[in-house]
Amino acid sequence: AQTVTQSQPEMSVQEAETVTLSCTYDTSESDYYLFWYKQPPSRQMILVIRQEAYKQQNATENRFSVNFQKAAKSFSLKISDSQLGDAAMYFCAYRSRDDKIIFGKGTRLHILP
């Protein structure tokens, strides 16, 4: 069975600095998708970025980028130029071939002004 592990329950970063959130996963599949979702306090969870396992190029979305290491089964999220609006819970998620979606336990990110 697939698992997703986020080893950092909480992190803090100074505004305008860069922070990296870690995510590792375990799977025997070769074709899958990985996602980072953001859940702001009392607001809807939204997709931040997604990565297709068969693509070696790391996905980027403006200030958000991933470091995808398929062999190491690692999928970290880097947030550059952190802003106060980035404060949220961040969930790493794996979508399997049989369409099962598995979430990590989340990392709470604090932005220090």
Partner 1 sequence: EADIYQTPRYLVIGTGKKITLECSQTMGHDKMYWYQQDPGMELHLIHYSYGVNSTEKGDLSSESTVSRIRTEHFPLTLESARPSHTSQYLCASSEYLAGDHTGELFFGEGSRLTVL
Residue placing its CB nearer to partner 1 in the complex, 18 or 55? 55
Minimum separation from the CB atom of position 102 to partner 1 (A):
9
Residue placing its CB nearer to partner 1 in the complex, 2 or 80? 2
Q: Which of 76, 91, 109, 111 binds partner 1 (CB under 8 A)?
A: 91
Distance CA 26, CA 73 (A): 7
Distance CA 67, CA 60 (A): 9
Verify binding: residue 97, partner 1, rule CB under 8 A. yes
Say which residues have a Cβ less than 8 Å from residue 92's Cβ, sequence separation at least 6. 4, 6, 21, 23, 25, 34, 35, 36, 75, 77, 103, 104
For the beta carbon of residue 86, count every other beta carbon within 10 angstroms: 20
Residue placing its CB nearer to partner 1 in the complex, 18 or 87? 87
Q: Which of 2, 20, 67, 103 binds partner 1 (CB under 8 A)?
A: 103
Nearest alpha-carbon partner for 77 in 93, 64, 88, 63: 64
Per CB under 8 A, residues contacting partner 1 are 32-33, 35, 37, 42-47, 50, 52, 89, 91, 93, 95-97, 99, 101, 103-106, 108
